[in-house]
A and B are shown apart, each in its own frame.
Chain A
Amino acid sequence: MDFPEFSSGIEDKEAVVQSLFWVGGALCLVATILPLVLLFRPSRLLRQAALWVLLAGTGAISAAAILVISRSLDLHLTLLSITPQLALSFRLDKLSCFFVVIIGAVSFCAVIYSITYIAHYKSERSKQFLTSGLAFFILAMLLVVASSTTFGFLFFWELMSLSSFFLVMFDLDKPETQKAGIFYFAMTQMGTIFLLASFLLLYRFTGSFDISAAGNIPQWGKGLVFVSLFIGFGTKAGIIPFHKWLPYAHSASPSNVSALMSGVMLKVPIYGLVRFIIDVFRPDLWWGIVLLFFGSITALLGIIYAFKEHDLKKMLAYCSIENLGVIVVGLGLYVIFDFYGLRVQADLCIYGALFHTLNHALFKSSLFMTAGSVVQATGTRDIEQMGGLIKRMPGTGAIFLVGACAIAALPPLNGFASEIMIFQAYLTSFSLGRPILEILLMAGLAALALTSTLAAACFAKAFGIIFLARPRSGAASAAKEAPFAQLLAPGILAALCVGFGVFSYQLISNVKSGMPLPDILPIGIIVLVLTGVTFLLLLLTRSPVRKTETWGCGIPSQTGKMEYSGDGFSEPIVTVFKPVFRTRKLSTREFYDKYNSIPRSSSGEIGTLKFFEERLYMPIARFFMKIAGAVSNLHNVDMDALILYSFIAVVLVILGVGWWL
């Protein structure tokens, strides 16, 4: 009989996975501690060693996760059991390991990138801190998605939030960073409170902290838990209107951290949503509509905001919001189709959403890394100060181009491969047979289509303004190509983008067969052949180049000021979406005389209203400041008032005694 052998084979695999997982986690922990060992004498050697250890750790955990996925294992591990209820235990199944692979792979590349990136900071102390924080952040993220109890999930979630907060606050002298830090801290804590509330509700209903036990709760309780989870996860994932921290935090933090935050940390709440919606609960129809609605708004507004941004990293951050919106749209559609029993469409959506999660992690981290190299080389994040970098940083430019094509969903790259799945599901939704829902879906489809178009326009602008034409500033013309490690890491990710795009059909059919998907491989071959032929023709037909000054209408030479600017590029679209941007024109004039006839000075300003910040966040913040001020007035008092308080308290207690006893 070969059955026992087969089962022992499985056990072997489980043992391998288990030891890889523990070893990987331990290595990440070692990498956290190692740079801090010599606290007062930061050592370059220890820091570099920590990065290599971290590399090994993320590699080991990724390998474990890939083993789990390829062998369809389902492992339960326990690290620490405070009580039988409160345990830090992990579950490695296909879903969690899918996210572990995303986190592990992107972190792996981010660590490679960090090897030379961290070295450019001046102070040894800050390098030491950044290395250690990075390792801890990666470890916390890996453990969040592996957690099998809500207790462990929240515990590691909070570790992840706090470590990323400290990483965001890295340049804490800059006022911009302080603002980002406050936004991030307040919002991430708000998210955690909602998560805590929903986990406590779950515990109230089921009497267990186990995630997989959360399924059997009453219908209304389920709805409540969903809303709370949606706000909690939505805040972390940057779903509009809970998104405001994201552009600030991503642009303020070091580039290797923003690559991780945008590429990986934003996926952790997606894991939470997928786990709870698909694996644990049986969702209602309205959940899907809520997800679809917020997802569409997030995608569309995210890309519209990205378009007018000329801070490179902020633009990428808004694009992350857009892509997270697309993923949430996929989840919402899954819920709707699943509710009506349309299996094919539902599968398309969920696999599309998950595939897009993976793809976004790949291309967005690659883009953030190349952006980091560009910012490092030019010393500015303002794209209007860049230009002509393709000649100075050809490697970085090429990788950025691949990432930009992927995020703009151009075939044959991976962004196209995953978005087409969601479009496919949308387009076949006419079989639903519910007119109102179909209208909603068509509106969503239109929004998604507009989003994709704008994304393409946005990255045409980004690549054009950053890399093409002539340098717009001295810093841009003095830029140097990034070191090898900073090309290798995003290069690996860009290669994966191409690979996952071209072989997407084969990959997906391996996981789930029978999906109505286009095979991109032939397109990939055609594109490859066409590119090859074009280059060949260029080479063959190259005529000798004559280098001379172009005739510039009598002006001696062209300057950067004469070039087409980023603002010029986006102006038509900004005009179209004027109601969204709420463009404001402010002009003030002062006069010498009371009849306003002799002007003294005047100023004019054109700006856009930061709608969510000024109309939503700030009023709430001001309200709480008012309450806080009142409370602080209450306890900044003399002794008489303190005695008055205790008097009131005693009277209330007496009243309470009479009332309840």
Chain B
Amino acid sequence: MMNTGITGDLIEVLFVLILGTAAFVITQRALRSLFTLYAIQSVILAAIAVVLFAEHRTVSLLFIALLTLVIKGFVIPAFLRRTLVVLPTKRDIEFSYLTPASSILLSAVLLFIVYTSFSNVAEVLFSDRLFFLGGVIGVSLALMGMMVIFSRKKVVSKIVGYLTMENGVLLFGLFIAEMPFIIEVLIVIDLFMLIVLSTIMAFGIDSSIEAFHKKLTQLGMRFED
């Protein structure tokens, strides 16, 4: 059980940092910084897992931290950066439905909504306040990732949104659901495959989804002939 003291404070600080990176992910236009932000966010997540391990002494937490650090902190961002080589534009300035400013405002509202909604069921679901905060921030992070997916036009940014969402799920899992380690590993492998595939298809990654779809259909028609 998480008591007061240094670990609790530390985790709360890390929560704030995570929210900060999420806000930057929503607004950042330069792609290289976007990837770096994602790497930082993943490292913070790993740090949270380590702090939790220090408190709970569950070995799987350590593994999760390690896995997150290596794959999400270094390998995936490295793959993403390689796509920049073929991308003609290095900045994503196209947005749909939401501008970055309104996205920030909306995420604040979302955080509030999730907080109040969860506080109604807090007694049943969460064993203490820190876990409750972890759940709230995990869900909010997932929703922010979703916002990134639908508000950005470029596929690479969408991928970052998806990765952010997954980070949210991981955070939620760390504090609430006690996700089995094996599933955590599988999710990471999924992510990894996604990134690899995306880099392979880097020829289409500069375009938006519609244009990409068009290219795919052309490909399909060639096969039919």
* A residues in contact (CB < 8 Å) with B: 638-641, 643-644, 646-647, 650-651, 654-655, 657-659, 661
Contact = CB atoms under 8 A, between A and B. Distances in A.
B39 interface: no
A644 to B, nearest CB: 4
B117 A647 contact: no
B58 interface: no
A651 B114 CA distance: 8
A650 B120 CA distance: 17
A647 B96 CA distance: 14
Contacts of A641: 97, 150
B143 A658 contact: no
A641 B116 CA distance: 27
B178 interface: no
Given A647-B146, A658-B116, 8 more contacts: A640-B151, A640-B153, A640-B209, A643-B149, A646-B146, A654-B114, A657-B121, A658-B119
Interface string B106-140: 00001001101111110010000000000000010
19 contacts: A638-B210, A639-B209, A640-B96, A640-B97, A640-B149, A640-B209, A641-B97, A643-B149, A643-B150, A647-B146, A651-B143, A654-B117, A654-B118, A657-B120, A657-B121, A658-B113, A658-B116, A658-B119, A658-B120
Contacts of A644: 97, 150
A638 B152 CA distance: 13
Nearest to B98: A644
Contacts of A651: 110, 113, 143
A639 B209 CA distance: 8
Contacts of B117: 654-655, 657-659
B8 to A, nearest CB: 25
A655 B112 CA distance: 11
A650 B124 CA distance: 21
Given A657-B121, A658-B117, A650 B143 contact: yes
A442 to B, nearest CB: 65
Nearest to B152: A640
SS class, residues of chain B in contact with chain A: helix
B195 interface: no
B147 interface: yes
B113 A661 contact: no
B113 A655 contact: yes
A654 B113 contact: yes
Nearest to A653: B117
Contacts of A655: 113, 117
Contacts of A639: 209
A653 to B, nearest CB: 9
A503 to B, nearest CB: 77
B225 to A, nearest CB: 28
Nearest to A660: B120
Q: Which 3 residue pairs of A and B lie closest in terms of their CB atoms, listed nearest first? A: A658-B117, A643-B150, A644-B150
A647 B143 contact: yes
Nearest to A645: B150
Given A640-B96, A658-B113, A647 B147 contact: yes
Nearest to A643: B150
A99 B124 CA distance: 62
A646 B116 CA distance: 21
B23 to A, nearest CB: 17
A635 to B, nearest CB: 15
A629 to B, nearest CB: 21
A658 B113 CA distance: 9
B60 to A, nearest CB: 28
A654 B119 CA distance: 11
A661 to B, nearest CB: 5
Nearest to A642: B150
Contacts of A661: 120-121, 124
B150 A640 contact: yes
A262 B96 CA distance: 58
Nearest to A650: B143
Nearest to B97: A644
Contacts of B121: 657-658, 661
A654 B112 CA distance: 11
A380 B150 CA distance: 61
Contacts of B113: 651, 654-655, 658
Contacts of A658: 113, 116-121
Contacts of A654: 113-114, 117-118, 139
A648 to B, nearest CB: 10
Contacts of B149: 640, 643
B139 A643 contact: no
Nearest to B140: A654
B22 to A, nearest CB: 15
B214 to A, nearest CB: 12
Nearest to B151: A640
Contacts of A640: 96-97, 149-151, 153, 209
Interface in B205-225: 209-210
Contacts of B210: 638
